[in-house]
Amino acid sequence: MNIRFTPLLALSALALSLSACGHMSQRDENTAAGAVIGGVAGSILTGGSAVGTVGGAVVGGVIGDKVDPKKR
């Protein structure tokens, strides 16, 4: 792949992914954030294992879904 093409592709993917989140509810945003954080944590804890990454994303997504910032 061309070196100059890669940043353009990454920037386009980022812009597309951010535009997809405009209509999400707070619960959906919490679920997505939990999945991303859990996936990163699972990847780090298992040394980059695909199973650890997916497992962390699933657990993080479930936790993010259950979090309600309005309850205190």
pTM across the whole model:
0.67
Span 23-41, pLDDT tens digits: 888 888 888 889 989 999 9
Domain range summary for the chain, segments of one domain joined by +: 25-72
44-67: pLDDT as tens digits: 999 888 899 999 999 999 999 998
Q: Inter-axis angle of helices 26-45 and 50-66, to 10 degrees? A: 150
List Cβ<8 Å contacts ≥24 apart for 24-31: 26/69, 27/65, 27/68, 30/64, 30/65, 30/67, 30/69, 31/61, 31/64, 31/65
